[in-house]
């Protein structure tokens, strides 16, 4: 796919009983790596599950939807001066 053809949407349902209608688009697409999305600390909560979707540019097609736990994919900075 070409850059911009796929759009990533996500939601973090807190509490779990909240409706799923609060989808947000990727807060920052990468300029260096096509089809990559960056979430900073303002858009990330650890120990919760996010659901992400890959959609077409016009949002007419939903390609995939999957749950993601931040604790399994986060890449923290290594410890310093231990």
Domain boundaries, the chain: 6-73
Residue 63 predicted with pLDDT over 90: yes
Would you say domain 6-73 falls under CATH 2.60.40.10? Answer: yes
3-class secondary structure per residue, the chain:
CCCCCEEEEEEECCCCCCCCCCCEECCCECCCCCCCECCCHHHCCCCCEEEEEEEECCCCCEEEEEEEEHHHHCCCCCCCCC
Give the per-residue pLDDT at 53: 94
Write down the pLDDT at residue 56.
Answer: 92
Q: What would the pLDDT profile of 23-57 be if each residue is shown by its tens digit?
A: 899 999 888 887 788 888 888 887 788 899 999 99
pLDDT beyond 80 at 15: no
**How many angstroms separate the Cα of 31 from the Cα of each of 28, 34, 35, 52?**
9, 7, 9, 20
């Amino acid at each position: 796919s070409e850059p911009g053809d796929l759009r990533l949407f996500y939601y973090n349902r807190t509490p779990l009983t909240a409706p799923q209608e609060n989808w947000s688009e990727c807060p920052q697409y990468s300029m260096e790596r096509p089809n990559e999305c960056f979430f900073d600390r303002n858009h990330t909560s650890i120990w919760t599950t996010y659901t992400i979707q890959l959609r077409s540019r016009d949002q007419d097609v939903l390609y995939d939807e999957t749950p993601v736990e931040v604790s399994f994919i986060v890449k923290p900075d290594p410890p310093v001066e231990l």
